[in-house]
Amino acid sequence: MDAGTTLLDAARELGVEIESPCGGVGVCGKCKIRIEEGNFQKFGIESKMDNLSPLTEEEKEGLGEEEIDNNYRLACRAAIEGDVLIFVPAESRLGEQVILQTGRKREVSIDPIVKNYYLEVPPATLQDQRDDFSRIRDLLAQKYGLEGDIFLDYSVAAALPVTTRRAGWKVTLSIWNGKEIIKISPGLVGNPWGVAIDIGSTTIAAYLCNLRTGETVAKKSMMNPQIVYGEDILSRISYVMTNEEGLARLSDSIAEGINSLLEALVEEAGLTSPEEIVDLVLVGNTVMHHIMLGIDPRYVGRSPFVPAFKYGADFKARDFGIKINAGSYVHWLPLEAGFVGADNVAVLLAEEPHRQDEKMLIVDIGTNGEIVFGNRDKLFSTSCATGPALEGAQIKFGMRAALGAIERVAIDPKTKDPRIKVIGEENWFDAGERSPASGICGSGIIDVCAEMFKTGIIDKTGRFNRQAGAPRVRRGADEKMEYVLCYAEDTAIGKDITITQGDIRAIQLAKSALYCGAEYLQEKFGVTKPDRIVLVGAFGSYINKESAMVMGMVPDCNLEKVQAVGNAAGDGARLALLSRKKREEAGEVAKKVKFVETASEPDFQIRFAEATAFPHRRHKFQSIRHILKQSAHRSGSTSSG
């Protein structure tokens, strides 16, 4: 490695995955590593702290005194100046996230944009010297009624004379949109194959579909390879702006990830190669859209947050290094606005609020929260910054939903002791029982905040209640209040896992942004509450809806009318893959939705401050009032909705 390279960049080059939610700008403190000093004959080096750049101010703030004394550094701040051997502790390793692939079964009329046509073409003779393409075009019109301008992709034109003759003039043509021949195959090929992919900021989910029957025959998912360059979309925009090759690296990493998923799908389905795939539909937020297409995303991140273009578009897959059939297209669904992308349009295709009388609130709590409210009369959308805290980036012991993450929490109202559920384990763990816990993920964070409020450990403002009689509430090393969720001897990392006052504040900011967004959309529509709430995406499927309501993440609604529907964006992408009408509908619904920039509303700061309270400073939550009253009675606190 060259001198001056940060340990984080060196790790990336070597394929060592270190947590770096902030993208390496030194603010999250998650990339902690330890320097091993001494002579290491196995590696032929002498490792010492002096072989790194001096300790930075960010490291002094992000590391405790004990950690600094024990040779800990932040990988993104420490630059190499000589030989060093580093140890990456468990809490800094990028764990394999548990990824939700499933959605709901959706009905759709099968009418894909790519269809297969089998032909037995009369061979050329001295009496009939029409060119090969004319023979094919005339037979398509005669047998299938395909008339008008039909043209060839270059890859088909190049293969045409050899393929037709070797196949004895018996061939299958894959035709895109009734006008372009994108593949020629020898013999009869009955099933064309297509793939729908949801490119999320954190995860990528892919679905292989039979375009003739509509059946989904394989599903695969993976972490978004861009995650090593930053947890959230703003971090990735920053990476593009501060690195000369940043855009190319991020774009290439997505293409490589997609190709990896395609290989896995083909293997699972028993196909011969990804070249059998003739159509590909992509959805994702606006920044993912721009980066995938090699478009500089920096202007999406600046006011007035305008994308390069919003319409649904088709591009040749080969232009982006995506290894499907050489002549095939990738189709991107249209965007709605700067931070509301094609993934949200896909959600609308799947959930169809524009066809409903019920006033629906659709909430996608991802790295970037996206909200839609309305029905067939009108639709409003907005986006808000919810992800960094809710996915662990701003939480002291926060982590992704990987093995070892605490995903559920229940607190006894009398003893104030917790029970925890850890990803990868079937059973719950009682207080004092050793568990494989190494941190806490988003669903667990929501649970623990709601439980602390219900049991009186924190009050309505989010402050710790010193009169709650909770032995696990104490002052931390920074002299600030915290709640001990797990003591060191009961964890996999040998440290106390705590929920700090700073953690609670970060969650309050995230949930307030989400609530305010929903409140503004309802107001624009002219109502004060939704008839139904739909939680979409992996996060929405795993969180406890009662905890979310107790916290005030979403407006008051009958809990029976709050529903999690899985990966609706992936479902919408599949609908667009299987139906041309759905692609047209996507364009229509994207135009119908009116985007609301909530932060520019004149009373935003006031409303935001009110919504930081649990569940809200002013608004009453009738649907959970009995829950809060029961909890208050059992714990002796004064929690109220």
Same domain, 476 and 512: no
Q: Give the CA angle between residues 462, 465, 466 to the nearest 5°.
A: 150
Q: Which helix (H) or strand (E) holds 248?
A: helix 246-269
Of 354, 349, 359, 310, nearest in space to 332 by CA: 310
Residue 475 lies in a domain: yes
DSSP-assigned letters across all residues of 44-104:
TEEE-GGGBPPPPHHHHHHS-HHHHHTTEEETTTPBBSS--EEE--GGGB-PPBP------
DSSP-assigned letters across all residues of 257-315:
HHHHHHHHHHHHHT-S-GGGEEEEEEEE-HHHHHHHTT---TTTTSTT---S--S-EEE
pLDDT at 48 (0 to 100): 87
**Lowest mean pLDDT: which of 21-25, 55-59, 252-256, 375-379?**
21-25
Q: Residue 124's CB: how many other CB atoms inside 10 A? A: 16
Residue 482 lies in a domain: yes
DSSP-assigned letters across all residues of 433-483:
------EE-HHHHHHHHHHHHHTTSB-TTS-B-TTS--TTEEE-TTS-EEE
Confidence of residue 124 (pLDDT cuts 50, 70, 90): confident
Tokens 């994207």, residue located: 590
Confidence of residue 592 (pLDDT cuts 50, 70, 90): very high
Residue 102 lies in a domain: no
| DSSP 8-state assignment for residue 385 | -
Average pLDDT rounded to a whole number, residues 16-35? 77
Same domain, 484 and 576: no
Q: Give the CA angle between residues 109, 115, 120 to the nearest 5°.
A: 135
Same domain, 556 and 619: yes
Q: Residue 85's CB: how many other CB atoms inside 10 A? A: 17
Ramachandran class of 169: left when φ > 0, alpha when ψ lies in -120 to 50, beta otherwise: left
Q: Rg of the chain's alpha carbons, rounded to an integer?
A: 27
Average pLDDT rounded to a whole number, residues 475-493? 92
Question: How many distinct structural domains can be found in the chain?
Answer: 5
Answer yes or no: is pLDDT of 305 > 90: no
Same domain, 501 and 542: no
Tokens of 492: 């996999």
pLDDT at 231 (0 to 100): 72
What is the rounded CA–CA span in Å between residue 277 and residue 173? Answer: 13
**Lowest mean pLDDT: which of 117-121, 198-202, 360-364, 365-369?**
365-369
Same domain, 199 and 322: yes
Beta-bridge partner residues of 281: 196, 331
CATH number of the domain at 25, please.
Answer: 3.10.20.30
* Top mean-pLDDT range of 278-282, 391-395, 492-496, 568-572: 278-282
What percent of the chain has pLDDT above 70? 92
Same domain, 239 and 321: yes
Confidence of residue 91 (pLDDT cuts 50, 70, 90): low
DSSP-assigned letters across all residues of 153-174:
-HHHHHHHHHHHHHTTTEEEEE
Same domain, 279 and 301: yes
| DSSP 8-state assignment for residue 318 | G
* pLDDT tens column, 144-173: 988 888 999 999 999 999 999 999 999 999
Please state, rounded to an integer, the average pLDDT across all residues of the chain: 88
Confidence of residue 635 (pLDDT cuts 50, 70, 90): low
Last residue of a domain, one of 299, 332, 365: 332
Of 43, 35, 22, nearest in space to 79 by CA: 35
Tokens 């998650």, residue located: 30
Same domain, 498 and 423: yes
Same domain, 274 and 369: no
Same domain, 436 and 367: no
Residue 295 lies in a domain: yes
Residue 339 lies in a domain: no
CATH number of the domain at 301, please.
Answer: 3.30.420.480
> What are the phi and psi torsion angles at 581 (to 5°)?
-65, -35
According to DSSP, the β-strands at 203-210 and 216-223 are: antiparallel
What is the rounded CA–CA span in Å between residue 391 and residue 382? Answer: 20
Last residue of a domain, one of 166, 186, 206: 186
Q: Which helix (H) or strand (E) holds 8?
A: helix 7-14
479 vs 230, residue with greater confidence: 479
What percent of the chain has pLDDT above 90? 60
397: containing domain: 389-506
Tokens 């985007």, residue located: 595
The answer, as to whether pTM is greater than 0.85, is no
Average pLDDT rounded to a whole number, residues 405-415? 93
Q: Residue 67's CB: how many other CB atoms inside 10 A? A: 15
Average pLDDT rounded to a whole number, residues 368-394? 83
Q: Residue 40's CB: how many other CB atoms inside 10 A? A: 13
pLDDT at 98 (0 to 100): 45
For 196, counting Cβ atoms within 10 Å of its Cβ (0-12 exposed, 13-18 middle, 19+ buried), the class is buried
Confidence of residue 631 (pLDDT cuts 50, 70, 90): low
Confidence of residue 393 (pLDDT cuts 50, 70, 90): low
Residue 99 lies in a domain: no
Answer yes or no: is pLDDT of 309 > 60: yes
Residue 107 lies in a domain: no
Alpha helices in 112-195 (DSSP H): 132-144, 154-166
For 478, counting Cβ atoms within 10 Å of its Cβ (0-12 exposed, 13-18 middle, 19+ buried), the class is exposed
Tokens of 327: 């002549």
CATH number of the domain at 150, please.
Answer: 3.10.20.880
Residue 132 lies in a domain: yes
CA 210 to chain centre: 25
What is the rounded CA–CA span in Å between residue 309 and residue 335? Answer: 8
**Lowest mean pLDDT: which of 9-13, 378-382, 441-445, 527-531?**
9-13
Tokens 């066809």, residue located: 355
Of 361, 343, 411, 415, nearest in space to 567 by CA: 343
Confidence of residue 28 (pLDDT cuts 50, 70, 90): confident
CA 113 to chain centre: 27
Of 443, 15, 564, nearest in space to 256 by CA: 15
Same domain, 423 and 524: no
Average pLDDT rounded to a whole number, residues 307-327? 95
What is the rounded CA–CA span in Å between residue 620 and residue 552? Answer: 10
Average pLDDT rounded to a whole number, residues 447-454? 95
How many residues are there in the chain? 641
Q: Are 381 and 594 in contact (CB under 8 A)?
A: yes
pLDDT at 99 (0 to 100): 43
* pLDDT tens column, 417-441: 999 999 989 999 999 999 999 999 8
CA 334 to chain centre: 18
Average pLDDT rounded to a whole number, residues 383-405? 78
pLDDT at 100 (0 to 100): 42
Q: Residue 544's CB: how many other CB atoms inside 10 A? A: 18
pLDDT at 349 (0 to 100): 94
pLDDT at 175 (0 to 100): 96
Last residue of a domain, one of 33, 59, 92: 92
**Lowest mean pLDDT: which of 233-237, 348-352, 482-486, 497-501?**
233-237
| DSSP 8-state assignment for residue 554 | S
pLDDT at 60 (0 to 100): 86
Answer yes or no: is pLDDT of 95 > 70: no
What is the rounded CA–CA span in Å between residue 444 and residue 392? Answer: 10
Same domain, 604 and 588: yes
What is the rounded CA–CA span in Å between residue 47 and residue 31? Answer: 20
106 vs 374, residue with greater confidence: 374
At 552 the three-state DSSP class reads coil
What is the rounded CA–CA span in Å between residue 581 and residue 593? Answer: 18
Preceding omega of 334 cis (within 30 degrees of 0): no
What is the rounded CA–CA span in Å between residue 494 and residue 349? Answer: 47
Q: Which helix (H) or strand (E) holds 187?
A: none
Average pLDDT rounded to a whole number, residues 88-96? 64
Q: Give the CA angle between residues 393, 75, 233 to the nearest 5°.
A: 40
